[in-house]
Amino acid sequence: MFQDMTLIKFAVLFANFVLFAALIIALIRMALGPTLPDRVVGLDMISTIIIGIIAAYTILTKEKTFLNPAVVLALISFLGTVSYAKYLEKRGIELKEK
């Protein structure tokens, strides 16, 4: 089992283990977050961790085609975060006017 284990494979498997542990912690943070910003940050963290898992899997399999979904997920996550920030900005202006 460990005869064909190179340093790269070991590092990628270790990184995947750490990323999956971080994913579980981020899911707990998102589920228990008392406020909406906590949940949005948790969701953003989950998408970032999933991008890391995709990147590690790409290194392990040496297939570049897996990077396209990672880029798309990063763009969608970025747009979601920016739109939420715009929402908070508008809501803050409305609250100050009242």
pLDDT tens-digit map of 56-78: 999 999 999 989 999 999 999 99
Q: Give me the residues of the chain with pLDDT under 70, please.
A: 1-3, 93-98
Q: What is the pLDDT of residue 88?
A: 82
- Please report, for the chain, how many H helices and E strands are present, in that order: 3, 0
**pTM above 0.75?**
yes
Q: Is the dihedral of CA 11, 12, 18, 22 positive or negative?
A: positive
Q: What is the pLDDT of residue 12?
A: 92
* Spatial CA neighbour of 43 closest among 13, 79, 90: 79
